[in-house]
Structure 1
């Protein structure tokens, strides 16, 4: 089950569970669509993978399986990914 992290790891923008702006990689690194496109060039700085839009958990399931409250933020700052 996806963790549904509450923020962008790059800019710390809030990304509620229903946000269409939340993007994830295969390791659930979570970034906003703006940072993915304009800072990261669509490549995860943590694992080098690509991004997809994070699915929205239906409200009934969100009540039973709530989103994470753990905020993850890159303390060293968010740097553009290097092309491999």
Structure 2
């Protein structure tokens, strides 16, 4: 089950469970759409994967399966990410 992390791991922006702005990779690294597309260029700085919109959990299920309240540090190692960009930016996520 998805954690539904509460904030962007790059800029710290709040991403509540019903946010249409949340993007995740296959490991659930969570970023806002602006960071995922413009800053990170669809390359996760933690795993090198691509991003997809995070699904919204129905309200009725949030009570039974609440979103995570644990915030991740809002920091990206830009040197490491530059390496990922060099390696993966030209390849679609399915071929990385």
Q: Normalized against structure 2, the TM-score is what? A: 0.81
TM-superposed deviation, 1:74: 4.2
Could you list the per-position Cα deviations for residues 12-42 of structure 1 after superposition, in whole angstroms to 9, with x for gaps in the alignment? Answer: 0000000000000000000000001111011
Q: Is the radius of gyration larger for structure 1 or structure 2?
A: 2
What CA distance in whole angstroms lies between the structure 2 residues aligned with 1:21 and 1:34?
Answer: 8
| Structure 2 residue 58 is the aligned partner of structure 1 residue 58 | yes
Aligned to 2:92: none
After TM superposition, which residue ranges in structure 1, 4 or more long, deviate above 6 angstroms? none
Unaligned runs of 5+ in 1: none
Query: How many residue pairs end up in the alignment?
Result: 83
Aligned to 2:90: none
Q: Normalized against structure 1, the TM-score is what? A: 0.92
What CA distance in whole angstroms lies between the structure 2 residues aligned with 1:23 and 1:78?
Answer: 19
Greater relative CO, 1 or 2 (CA 8 Å, sep 6+):
1
Aligned 8 A contact 1:10 1:78 in 2: no
